[in-house]
Structure 1
Amino acid sequence: MLSPTKSILTLSPDSLPKIFGRATEAGIRSFELRVVEGKRFPMFEPDAWDRLKAQSEAHGIQYTAVSPGLFKAPLQSELIQLHADHLLPMGLDLADAIGVKTLILFGPTRAEPELPGEFEQVVELIKTAVDKAVARGFTVQLENLPGSWADTSDACLALLKAVDRPDFGYVWDTGNLYEAEQEHFRAGYEKLKPYIRNVHLKNGAVVDGKMVWKRYGEGVTDVKGQVEALIADGYEGTLVLEAACQPHELEDFPTSMAYLNSILA
């Protein structure tokens, strides 16, 4: 059975009870943990961490995965080594503290022009991170992102195959894929579906050369077809709602949630 999950992005100390309250009213008690009060996991302010734990307990919230933005930097940047040596273990420690055993990472930013041997270095970087996480009982997921070494369907497939670890799966984000390759999801889905462990739902369209996020059903990334394909293939993982639009409006989440429920019904 598909399990709707919401990403968490909050901007002020009073927003947690509002977000959790609206989510639980819609029947959602699972969140993917990324940013709280302007700080990305695990670099939270102490007070924000305390508020997060208190509000999570009060609303019965569970977390499906953590996303510290691991390797969202150019391969040659000094940040990559800092991520590998410090952000990764800190992220695993804090995830352990809240009982989460799934870590999301990214492909590093692709150099322009591509540097000799860069792909092989990316593969070794991710292999090492995955092996460290798995040794601590975690599974790891690769999220696609425009401009990274996991930008298009083919690029994601190449990384997944090259890393070749049973506990290394894929976050299928068709919104990000469309931004990178501007193609319907179907061709990429057929290649990637053996690896899909997590699904991010975003809808949008390219307007004046820029990707603009829209409510479900109002863009061209075909959320309906995406969910129907997953149901037809017996997918039982999470669906992460990324329902914010530009400009953001209060009704974005309930409108997109209602649209999703009409597909799942």
Structure 2
Amino acid sequence: MSATWHLSGFGDEIDADPRIQAAVLRALGASHIEVRSAWGTNIVDLDEAQLAELKAVLDGAGLGVSAVASPIGKVDISLPVEHEVERLGRALRAAEVLGAPYIRIFSFYYEGRAPEDVRDAVIERMTALARRAEGTGVVLVHENEKDIFGDIPERVLDLVETVDSPALKLAWDPANFVQVGVKPFTEGYELLRPHIAYLQVKDALADTGTVVPAGEGDGEVLATVEALRDSGYTGFASLEPHLADAFELGGFSGPEAFGVAARAFAKVLDRAGVEAN
């Protein structure tokens, strides 16, 4: 089988300047960009003038925006519901200006507590976020991330099925699953496939958690790509290499390492018979 997907990437892993982000992504054959920050400012903190300038830069480069990579839900569960709903409003405004169909979100830190003890609070907050997004035309995609409630497949499934909103789907990150001891494709794919709407491209080694280029770790990236292809997936594949540095709200690779990551993923796609543009 063959398929065509849309190649995107986290621009701020390349450089703080969106012009450089755009130039590198276009040189690597990407048609889209995932926007997490520009000029060193997080997407939810950009003002109207900055959003307009960013839109002009990306339009001038011929890049669409695949997603707003927001930090929504990367806060402690103890904060009130309204805290993240208000920030989501700003992310939705950014998505509107940039023409992004997706906003990436997370399901809250809960250090020092058991996941079952915070489940109700997580569901309450995720439901409020989904309701805020409903009717906007933008879909929230939850990223499985270590140290948040939705870190393993079973809790991710619980979350998305309990909230049960057309405005909440899943972003699949294989490296993050590896880093919490999960074999992504073997232990999570069939369980979560009905809800997967977005692919983040990152791989990792199981023994150390070190992030590596796609196909060079234990993230079962090729098997996942082949299964997505066979299921009719035609969405985005967004490069998030984290090859130089990783930190709480993101990561960095630089232009050279980002190119390494893009070429590694191109090899995976070639083996699977998937084209990316």
Do the aligned partners of residues 263 and 49 (structure 1) sit closer, same or farther apart at CA in structure 2, a change above 3 Å counting?
A: same
Q: Which residue in the other structure is 1:213 paired with?
A: 211
Q: Which residue in the other structure is 2:258 paired with?
A: 253
Q: Which residue in the other structure is 1:82 paired with?
A: 83
- Alpha-carbon deviation of 1:153? 1.0
Pairs aligned (count): 260
Of 191, 214, 224, 2:222 maps to 224
Q: Which residue in the other structure is 2:178 paired with?
A: 178
Q: Which residue in the other structure is 1:130 paired with?
A: 130
Q: CA RMSD in A?
A: 2.4
Deviates more, 1:98-107 or 1:191-200: 98-107
Given the alignment of the two structures, is residue 202 of structure 1 paired with residue 202 of structure 2, yes or no?
Answer: yes
> Please, which runs of 5 or more residues in structure 2 have no aligned partner?
246-252, 271-277
Cα separation, 1, equivalents of 2:166 and 2:254: 40
Q: Which residue in the other structure is 1:31 paired with?
A: 33
- Alpha-carbon deviation of 1:32? 1.4
Q: Which residue in the other structure is 2:9 paired with?
A: 6
Is the 1:175–1:221 Cα contact (8 Å) retained in structure 2? yes
Give the secondary-structure state (helix, strand or coil) at the position aligned to 2:142.
strand
Give the secondary-structure state (helix, strand or coil) at the position aligned to 1:189.
helix
Q: Which residue in the other structure is 1:140 paired with?
A: 140
- Alpha-carbon deviation of 1:253? 2.4
Is the 2:244–2:257 Cα contact (8 Å) retained in structure 1? no
Do the aligned partners of residues 184 and 169 (structure 1) sit closer, same or farther apart at CA in structure 2, a change above 3 Å counting?
A: closer
Question: What do the CA deviations read for 1:129-185 (whole angstroms, capped 9, x no partner)?
Answer: 111111323222111110101111111011011111133210011111111224243
Q: Which residue in the other structure is 1:235 paired with?
A: 233
Identity of aligned residues (%): 21
Give the secondary-structure state (helix, strand or coil) at the position aligned to 2:59.
helix
Question: What do the CA deviations read for 1:183-232 (whole angstroms, capped 9, x no partner)?
Answer: 2432200100000000111012256x5x2212233322232222122112
Do the aligned partners of residues 138 and 19 (structure 1) sit closer, same or farther apart at CA in structure 2, a change above 3 Å counting?
A: closer
Deviates more, 1:239-248 or 1:29-38: 239-248
Do the aligned partners of residues 212 and 93 (structure 1) sit closer, same or farther apart at CA in structure 2, a change above 3 Å counting?
A: same
More relative contact order, 1 or 2 (CA 8 Å, 6+ apart): 2
Q: Which runs of 4+ in 1 moved over 6 A?
A: none
> Please, which runs of 5 or more residues in structure 1 have no aligned partner?
none
Give the TM-score taking structure 1 as reference length.
0.87
Is the 1:11–1:36 Cα contact (8 Å) retained in structure 2? no
